[in-house]
Amino acid sequence: MRKVLTALFGILLAAGPAVAQDYKPVGVNFGFGWTFPTTDLKNSFDAGWNGTVGVTFNFNEHLGFLADYTYNRMNGPSKQLLLSATPVAAAATNGLLESNHQMHVGTFDLVYNVHSRQHPIGGYVLGGGGIYHRIVQITSPSVGYTTICDPYWYVCYPTAVSIDTIIGDRSSNDFGINFGGGVTFGHEVKFYVESRYHYVWGPEITPTTVNPLSTTQCSSGCTTNAAYFPLTFGARW
């Protein structure tokens, strides 16, 4: 019996390294790419760029848990506005507003690798949730009074307000989900191309005043729910 147990123990010791070589318990990755807004968000901001870094905790050669941080930046198209010298005067001049949208995103995803690490070409799918810290910055060289309602700028003023009231930084901490996948190339170091779909639930922006004649207000609040997808190129090892 002792010989049998000794033989089994020897087999397990011999097989242990081979099993361990099938996957790494912990992997890291970084990448850069483009960010594309969709749905109504694309009406307020243009395509931008992103950078990401993450850590994957692998349970086996196929299943893992990814925690990553991503920074996204999208500039908005310049908006031409009609300005007046006072809140009650007729609009007389043109004004300009410029904006950008930044996101600090922490996501937590389950990852399923289709192939083992030894395969030179592989693929994976992933999905999960995360926290999205969204920042909108609005600037302007103009002076005067205007009306504007853009929920993705976190502003809604159906009646004339000073442009100084509109410019500045605004932010929101929101929950969202993401899912997608990628393709990998290589052995020890994996180069990857990845795309995910993100959907974020945001607060409602309520008009500061009610103006029945205004066409730029929301009847019961403007949603800031947003969707976008990044296309990222990177490396993991």
**Which has more pLDDT, 38 or 87?**
38
pLDDT tens digits, one per residue of 211-220: 544 444 565 5
Our CA angle for 232, 233, 234, nearest 5°, is 115
d(CA 159, CA 51): 39
Give the per-residue pLDDT at 116.
Answer: 74
Residue 91 lies inside a defined structural domain of this protein? yes
The verdict on residue 92 lying in a domain is yes
pLDDT at site 225: 96
17 belongs to a structural domain: no
pLDDT tens-digit series, residues 131-161: 999 999 999 999 999 999 999 999 999 889 9
pLDDT at 188: 84
Name 199's bridge partners.
177, 227
Question: Rounded distance, CA 225 to CA 41, Å?
Answer: 8
Domain interval for residue 57: 24-236
Q: Taking all residues of the chain, what is their mean pLDDT, rounded to a whole number?
A: 87
CA distance 52 to 138: 25
Nearest Cα to 174, choosing from 135, 222, 231, 141?
135
Query: pLDDT tens-digit profile of 23-33?
Result: 789 999 999 99
Q: Is the pLDDT score of 56 beyond 90?
A: yes
**Residues near 126 by beta carbon (within 8 Å), at least 6 away in sequence:** 66, 109, 110, 111, 112, 179, 180, 181, 196
Closest of 106, 103, 109, 129 to residue 182, by C-alpha:
109
Residue 12 inside a domain? The answer is no
Q: What is the pLDDT of residue 15?
A: 42
pLDDT band of residue 39 (cuts 50, 70, 90) is very high
Residue 195 lies in a domain: yes
Residue 5 lies in a domain: no
CATH number at 39 reads 2.40.160.20
| Structural domains in the chain (count) | 1
Eight-state DSSP code of residue 21: T
How far is Cα of residue 150 from the mean position of the Cα atoms in its chain?
20
2 assigned to some structural domain: no
Query: Which amino acid would we find at residue 54?
Result: G
Whether 18 maps to a domain, the answer reads no
